[in-house]
Chain A
């Protein structure tokens, strides 16, 4: 298959749907906490059945991952003979923590996301092995910790030490890439509300992550989603926890400032 035709077909398809089903139709709906000014959670683009699944803790399969995290919270591991609970007490001490990630860490001179912060506690404080990215343990604990902040508005810092990372993330977001030559921005800003194959394009917000995706039949991290969106335009994905994705994560979380933490959200 040639490169140009597929690019044209996609661009044409985006352009068409954008004309017919652009931003206008959904703008006057009231979405409560799921909309802040013109920023809308992926929840507001999801099908009613998908939203119902998310709204009912019991029906939400993402809660199975939260349960994995809950069990691990009490589990003693590593040479220091400690569990998360030994130092942090109950999980309610994690309330409000998620809203400000990724955070700048001076010793690393870099950003750190929640997955990495959890793993730093494992290696430094518990003397245990770090969990692998996308393992059910790390996803489970990340879901569990973020879920403690359910409904709280996202609020990452972008000034001071954060500024260069923010700029890098923004540049990534606006950079055309891949054989299809599309930037994140093209799909998630310019064609928001448009239809791409079976999907309605949302704003690509990060507030519900890690999310339970029906397509994955499981929970996945924000970096997994970034990788999927990179591959979708046939560009090479970056690694889990890479500097590129950390900066991008900061920018994406800033785009969704004020939106509620929804973890574990349900998406198709």
Chain B
């Protein structure tokens, strides 16, 4: 798929102190580097090797990914909502390309 689309789902509103679930999914082949193409040569590795989530600039979640992670990887985690602000989700690909998605959450 030519264009790589990241998706996130967060609650748009939350109560202070509430534990909210953050879901993310990115459309990506996660080419392992182990497969051979039709010409018999190895297809070069191209995976998302790191995922980061920042809230108002502070890193709240990060993980390093390896070739065994499935295509179109889905990741969910929980965090405590404390204040209103903006999330920045970032997927970093081999070779340095970055895919970014932002989303706001209002906390009352």
Binds A, one of B44-52, B54-62, B68-76: B68-76
Nearest A residue to B9 via CB reads: A58
In contact, B25 and A59 (Cβ under 8 angstroms): yes
In contact, A64 and B5 (Cβ under 8 angstroms): yes
Q: Which of B23, B25, B71, B76 contacts A218 (CB 8 A)?
A: B71
Query: Of residues 60 to 93 in A, which have CB atoms within 8 Å of B's CB atoms?
Result: 61, 64, 67
The DSSP consensus for interface residues of chain B is loop
- Which residues of chain A are near B30, meaning CB under 8 Å? 217
Nearest A residue to B2 via CB reads: A136
At the interface, yes or no: A163 with Cβ under 8 Å from chain B? no
Chain A to chain B contacts (Cβ below 8 Å), 22 pairs: A53-B74, A58-B7, A58-B23, A58-B25, A59-B23, A59-B25, A59-B74, A61-B25, A61-B27, A61-B71, A61-B72, A61-B74, A64-B5, A64-B7, A64-B25, A64-B27, A67-B5, A214-B70, A217-B30, A217-B70, A217-B72, A218-B71
In contact, B1 and A136 (Cβ under 8 angstroms): yes
C-beta contact mask, B1-42 vs A, less than 8 Å → 1, else 0? Answer: 100010101000000000000010101011000000000000
From residue A153, how far is it (CB to closest CB) to chain B in Å?
Answer: 30
- 3 tightest Cβ-Cβ pairs between the two chains A and B: A217-B71, A61-B72, A58-B9
C-beta contact mask, B54-96 vs A, less than 8 Å → 1, else 0? Answer: 0000000000000000111010100000000000000000000
- Which residues of chain B are near A217, meaning CB under 8 Å? 29-30, 70-72
- Which residues of chain B are near A136, meaning CB under 8 Å? 1
- Which residues of chain B are near A53, meaning CB under 8 Å? 74
From residue B101, how far is it (CB to closest CB) to chain A in Å?
Answer: 13
In contact, A64 and B23 (Cβ under 8 angstroms): no
Residue among B25, B29, B30 having the largest count of chain A Cβ atoms under 10 Å: B25
- Which residues of chain B are near A218, meaning CB under 8 Å? 71
Nearest A residue to B7 via CB reads: A58
Measured between alpha carbons, how far is A58 from B71 in the docked complex, in Å?
Answer: 15
- Which residues of chain A are near B71, meaning CB under 8 Å? 61, 217-218
- Which residues of chain A are near B1, meaning CB under 8 Å? 136
From residue B49, how far is it (CB to closest CB) to chain A in Å?
Answer: 18
- Which residues of chain B are near A59, meaning CB under 8 Å? 23, 25, 74, 76
From residue B10, how far is it (CB to closest CB) to chain A in Å?
Answer: 11
Measured between alpha carbons, how far is A61 from B5 in the docked complex, in Å?
Answer: 11
Measured between alpha carbons, how far is A214 from B7 in the docked complex, in Å?
Answer: 19
From residue B61, how far is it (CB to closest CB) to chain A in Å?
Answer: 17
Measured between alpha carbons, how far is A112 from B27 in the docked complex, in Å?
Answer: 31
From residue A137, how far is it (CB to closest CB) to chain B in Å?
Answer: 11
Nearest B residue to A67 via CB reads: B5
C-beta contact mask, A19-56 vs B, less than 8 Å → 1, else 0? Answer: 00000000000000000000000000000000001000
From residue A240, how far is it (CB to closest CB) to chain B in Å?
Answer: 19
- Which residues of chain A are near B25, meaning CB under 8 Å? 58-59, 61, 64
Nearest B residue to A216 via CB reads: B71
From residue B72, how far is it (CB to closest CB) to chain A in Å?
Answer: 4
Measured between alpha carbons, how far is A132 from B72 in the docked complex, in Å?
Answer: 23
From residue A52, how far is it (CB to closest CB) to chain B in Å?
Answer: 11
In contact, A64 and B9 (Cβ under 8 angstroms): no
